[in-house]
Structure 1
Amino acid sequence: METKGRETRGGQGGGVSARGGGRVTSHGVHRILLAANYSALFLGTLASSLLSRFYFVHGGSSRWVSTLVQSAGFPLLLPLIYFSPRPPRTAFTPRLLLLCVLIGLFLGVNNLFISWGVSYLPVSTSSLILSSQLAFNLLLSVVLVRQPLYFTNLNCVLLLTLSSILLALNHSHERPSGVTSSQYIIGVLTTLGAAVMFALYLPIAQIVYRGVTAFRTVMEMQVAMEAVATGFAMVGMAASGGFKQMKREAAVEFDLGRARYWVIIGATVASWQLCFMGTAGMVFLTSSLNSGICSTALLVVNVVGGLVVFHDEFGAQKVASMVSCVWGFASYLYGEYKRKTKADEEEELIGAANPASNAAGNGGEIV
């Protein structure tokens, strides 16, 4: 995976120097941050999908509650921000605040779409549909951040699109008990809409982060975005009677009892926070496309999680869909590996031919 350890050619990966606290950081610090964010993304992606579906399976019914928990964990970032190194100058400008408000509203709508999809679809199905975000992310990255387009990228797009089409057509016996055919289709469409919106969010975030030099600022921006998304969800809950419904669910409707209801809500809040912070961190440390690849690859783990925890059906169409997903990932990753290997070989040849120039060029490298 290409990280922001050096300037990249042709706009690939949006590469800039790995940064923290307003100055170039060491390889070690960069790798620690990268590992921490990837771990958060892995745990958050798997747990949030399973817990969100668990809420609906055991008596939860409010999509606004499901929307709220996706962003309400932002206070968990405040201690991390407090103990993080301060940048040499104020980085969180009024312009960044305005961008955070707009992106936060965008994420609030995206969270609502995810809630609609999760309420009607099996975890494995929604995860495979959400994997189509990589195709949209690639296309939007080409337009917004000038990501180069290769055959392996296009192959990935076609296979992931095929994967989603197969699932959308497979609604006759894949829908959960109590979900009508029309509701299943609504679930597919809203989940696909969430995939498109998330794919748009990633390159927009990459563009915004180009002017950010400290990881602390990324966390501050994440707090602002999620606070706005939380406000959006709370307005929706207030307008629809969601707060009263939440109390009724905890007291009566949730079949595992009041105490476990609040444990599930709390765990879901924490898991979504891990997921979104991990995503934001990966965009900042690598690129929007790399973040999208990591997120989408982990959705395949959710498919397995849905099979194990909820015993989702896994018919022939779903097998073909998952094979298409894995094939698309493999195609993309192989192409990136070959290009990175070729770029490294070219750099070695240039360095060997002109060692004096290479040494001077390393003045800004990470140490």
Structure 2
Amino acid sequence: MLETFKWWIRIPIYVIFLIAGQAAATLLGRFYYCEGGNSKWMATLVQSSGFPLLIPLLFYFSPTKCDHNNGTNDNSTNNTITKKYPTKSKVSTLTLIYIGFGLIATGTNLLYSYGLFYLPVSTYSLLCATQLAFTALFSYSINSQKFTPPIFNSVILLTASAALLAINTEDVDWRHKPYDNYFIIGFFCTIFASAAFSFCLSMVQLSFEKQLIKGGTFYAVLEILFYQSFVATCACVVGVFASGEWTTLNNEMKNFKQGSFSYVMTLLWIAVSWQVTSVGMVGLVMEVSSLFANLIATLTLPVVPIFAVFIFHDKMDGDMIVSLLLAVWGFLSYIYQHYLDDRKAKVHNVEGVC
């Protein structure tokens, strides 16, 4: 089980999940649009519809199953297992939490889809970088996050890294002129999406802190993702039919440049990639904080263009390298703060023993 590993092993695993999953999902999403995909609700649906992949993991990492495997069949063990079943009030609270997170995720993903459709790539990426600033704000106000100079430096550097990457991105498909109605719609959709995403991360952290969701285990990460994604998927399915986009999906698949099979596989792997991303994101929120999780997500922004150079034969320039170096510098700055906190804690423990 993942929680049997020490924290310094678990956290890198979640980091790898987040970076690899987000990079793959972003590149596949670009492939979807470049090859003829155009459905905003479908792009939203695949971000949550991979939740059935979590079902085998939920059974494998079930606390009851683990207790039976690790314990004996005496009365004390049986009593412990029985107490793990939540009360009716607990179930009601969890139901409201999962429905709320699922609906927020649906709205956030849809707003991002509209933002990407109506905005040039550079403007969209620049506005997405505000996620980190919103997360810092919500972490301070909701999660009582302390901002030391290294953490503040980390937020500034990673935001600057994303901004530099966005400003120097060539707009290959600017559908609308600046400041027309569509541009304004895309602008506010992306800003609201960034704020909602950051708020949701902070609320997930608060749920773990207040023990509304039983944290500390990999099962807790899987559980919140499964129910949140289930609600979000149901909402997206309703959106697909209510918007009428379902009538265009057959033609979209037939007109996909790489063929129908490639269309299906692209959507399938996008769904898988987003689930891997979500596991990494929620895992880092549980293990560290929502701010740290968003720092890692922002760190992925300059990583994606590096992969795009090899996959899509994009141009590599100095701005991309500088952006990546700034991102790494910002990440190391945050890690340095954790080193200082750990050293301070060890000194305090030694003084307490003495």
Aligned match of 1:39:
16
> 1:157 and 1:84, CA in 2 relative to 1: closer, same or farther beyond 3 A?
closer
Q: CA deviation at 1:248?
A: 1.1
| SS of equivalent residue, structure 1 residue 93 | helix
Aligned match of 2:270:
268
Aligned match of 1:90:
85
Aligned match of 1:175:
171
Q: CA deviation at 1:94?
A: 1.7
Conserved? CA contact 2:143–2:206, under 8 Å: yes
Match of 1:241 among 234, 239, 244: 244
Aligned match of 2:133:
135
- Range 107-116 or range 299-308, more displaced: 299-308
Percent identity for Structure 1 against Structure 2: 33
> 1:343 and 1:217, CA in 2 relative to 1: closer, same or farther beyond 3 A?
closer
Q: CA deviation at 1:163?
A: 5.2
> 1:43 and 1:166, CA in 2 relative to 1: closer, same or farther beyond 3 A?
closer
| SS of equivalent residue, structure 1 residue 265 | helix
Corresponding letter in the other structure for 2:207? V
* TM value normalised by structure 1: 0.76
CA–CA distance in structure 1, aligned partners of residues 10 and 336 of structure 2: 25
CA–CA distance in structure 1, aligned partners of residues 221 and 266 of structure 2: 28
Conserved? CA contact 1:114–1:190, under 8 Å: yes
CA–CA distance in structure 2, aligned partners of residues 187 and 346 of structure 1: 51
Q: CA deviation at 1:206?
A: 0.9
Corresponding letter in the other structure for 1:179? R
CA–CA distance in structure 2, aligned partners of residues 315 and 329 of structure 1: 22
| SS of equivalent residue, structure 2 residue 248 | helix
| SS of equivalent residue, structure 1 residue 174 | coil
Map Cα deviations across residues 85-125 of structure 1 (whole Å, 9 max, x no partner): 33531247220111110111001111112223444668787
CA–CA distance in structure 2, aligned partners of residues 230 and 127 of structure 1: 25
> 1:318 and 1:301, CA in 2 relative to 1: closer, same or farther beyond 3 A?
closer
- Range 57-66 or range 175-184, more displaced: 175-184
Q: CA RMSD in A?
A: 3.2
Q: CA deviation at 1:237?
A: 1.1
Q: How many residues align?
A: 326
Conserved? CA contact 1:159–1:325, under 8 Å: yes
Aligned match of 2:41:
64
Does 2:82 align with 1:105?
A: no
* TM value normalised by structure 2: 0.79
Conserved? CA contact 1:113–1:191, under 8 Å: yes
CA–CA distance in structure 2, aligned partners of residues 201 and 284 of structure 1: 13
- Range 95-104 or range 151-160, more displaced: 151-160
CA–CA distance in structure 2, aligned partners of residues 188 and 316 of structure 1: 28
CA–CA distance in structure 2, aligned partners of residues 111 and 223 of structure 1: 17
Q: CA deviation at 1:42?
A: 2.6
Match of 2:51 among 74, 77, 90: 74
Conserved? CA contact 1:44–1:274, under 8 Å: yes
Conserved? CA contact 1:120–1:176, under 8 Å: no
CA–CA distance in structure 2, aligned partners of residues 189 and 333 of structure 1: 33
CA–CA distance in structure 2, aligned partners of residues 45 and 96 of structure 1: 27
Corresponding letter in the other structure for 1:259? F
Q: CA deviation at 1:149?
A: 1.5
CA–CA distance in structure 2, aligned partners of residues 231 and 258 of structure 1: 25
Q: What are the ranges of 5 or more consecutive residues in structure 2 without an aligned counterpart?
A: 65-80
